[in-house]
Amino acid sequence: MENEPVPIAKPQREELEYVGFWLRLGASIIDTVLSAMVLYPILYALYGREYFVSRHMIAGTGDFILTHILPAVAIIIFWFYKSATPGKMAIGAKIVDARTGLAPSKKQLIGRYFAYYLSMLPCFLGFLWVAWDLRKQGWHDKLAGTVVVRPIRRGKIKVVFEN
């Protein structure tokens, strides 16, 4: 019986729950603090103390790249490779395809990022929508066909995907 094959257990599909407004807000705060810790020293080195008290929207090309382009690229890269930003990882959440529960496509993730701008209008209503939606989707999630989930906690409603 020494050469008998050992049966390999099939991986169980993880039970997930939708991540609601307050947890997602917390994850965003974590991301904002981490981003500020990286960017503020660089902005201070480039523009000095006046940058932080100036009324100018954009102080120059470096400011635009550091505060608009770099964060967008970083977020999308984190989504591509981790299905989450550091804030979402800290709360155990990830972005998945709303229909299958699998990793979203690159097209979905890029579309989700640009849909953030629609979620900001009017008065960030698209982000607040997470609080009322049954699947805890913001407008950016609905437009991209994604949901934010994490391993289920005791007493929560289980997420069921179509496939």
Model confidence pLDDT, tens digit, residues 6-28: 555 544 556 889 999 999 999 99
Of 55 and 122, the one with more pLDDT: 122
Helix axes 21-47 and 70-82, enclosed angle (nearest 10): 140
In a domain, 63, yes or no: yes
Rounded Cα distance, 160 and 127, in Å: 23
Model-level pTM?
Answer: 0.81
Amino acid at 18: Y
Q: What is the pLDDT of residue 151?
A: 93
How does pLDDT run across 26-54, given as a tens digit for each residue?
999 999 999 999 999 999 998 888 888 88
Q: Residue 155's pLDDT is what?
A: 63
pLDDT at 153: 76
The one-letter code for the residue type at 11 is P
Q: What is the span of the domain harbouring residue 126?
A: 16-151
The residue assigned the tokens 């981790």 is 82
> If we measure between CA atoms, which residue out of 140, 121, 122 comes closest to residue 130?
140
Residue 6 inside a domain? The answer is no
Is 157 part of any domain?
no
Total number of domains constituting the chain: 1
* 64 in a structural domain: yes
Q: pLDDT per residue over 51-93, tens digit each?
A: 888 887 887 888 899 999 999 999 999 999 999 999 999 999 9
90 belongs to a structural domain: yes
